[in-house]
């Protein structure tokens, strides 16, 4: 499955737990973009979705540009995720060597419906063994680095790539596109269109030279 492909048949009425993984040095919008989409859905339709965050430990953590976040749960007491969102950022270069974080991703992947990455969060999924033999994408500046690992069928110039259980997206703002795609796939296009309209996500940036 890839961008624009129909998803598998799913129960559009099922309530799902969406969990956003946090760690020091993550790129802010990688986490906040998906949080806005799923957090809005949880407020709009609490019968369909819950949204929460998780990190290795409780307390404040600092993101790549200084934003400070506090997780709702830790790896030790996190609820099982139906959808796990894994952000990227410069902190991902360190976290690929964090065995506790990689083990958490692997454990969640064993039961979750979807594991999704934003930007260089793809490298965390790759280290967890979730991208082996799969098509995937990441931030344009890290495409060659992902390809050099030799385990992933790297896709260029896509906002997101849907492989069913595992979904990856390009850099930073692409996490919003990814999240709206997942809302459409898991709860139907009408719900996704309502969320998109209500958060007013219709990008029309100026043309820059």
The model's pLDDT over 6-35, given as tens digits with 9 standing for 90+, comes to: 445 789 999 999 999 999 999 999 999 999
What pLDDT is stored for residue 147 in this prediction? 97
Is 119 noted as a catalytic residue in this protein? Answer: yes
* Residue 67: Cβ within 10 Å count: 14
Catalytic residue among 42, 64, 119, 125: 119
Q: What is the mean pLDDT of residues 162-184?
A: 98
Q: What's the pTM value of the predicted model, to 2 decimals?
A: 0.94
Tokens of 201: 């996500």
Beta strands in the chain (DSSP E): 16-21, 49-55, 61-62, 68-69, 73-74, 83-86, 114-117, 135-136, 153-154, 160-162, 166-169
Does the structure show a pLDDT above 90 at 93?
yes
Q: Which domains are seen in the chain, by residue range?
A: 16-198 (3.40.50.880)
């Amino acid at each position: 499955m890839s961008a624009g492909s129909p998803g598998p048949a799913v129960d559009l009425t099922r309530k799902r737990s969406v969990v956003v993984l946090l760690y020091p040095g993550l790129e802010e919008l990688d986490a906040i973009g998906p949080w806005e989409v799923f957090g809005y859905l949880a407020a709009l339709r609490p019968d369909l979705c819950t949204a929460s965050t998780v990190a290795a430990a409780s307390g404040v953590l600092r993101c790549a540009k200084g934003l400070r976040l506090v997780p709702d749960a830790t790896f030790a007491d996190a609820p099982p995720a139906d959808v796990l969102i894994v952000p990227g950022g410069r902190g991902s270069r360190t976290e690929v060597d964090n065995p506790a974080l990689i083990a958490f991703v692997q454990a969640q992947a064993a039961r979750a419906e979807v594991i999704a990455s934003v930007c260089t969060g793809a490298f965390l999924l790759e280290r967890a063994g979730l991208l082996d033999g799969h098509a995937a994408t990441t931030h344009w500046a890290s495409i060659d680095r992902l390809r050099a690992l030799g385990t992933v069928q790297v896709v260029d110039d896509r906002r997101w790539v849907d492989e069913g259980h595992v979904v990856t997206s390009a850099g930073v703002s692409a996490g919003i596109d990814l999240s709206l795609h997942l809302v459409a796939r898991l709860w139907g296009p009408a719900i996704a269109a309502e969320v998109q309209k209500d958060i007013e996500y219709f990008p029309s940036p100026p043309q820059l030279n």
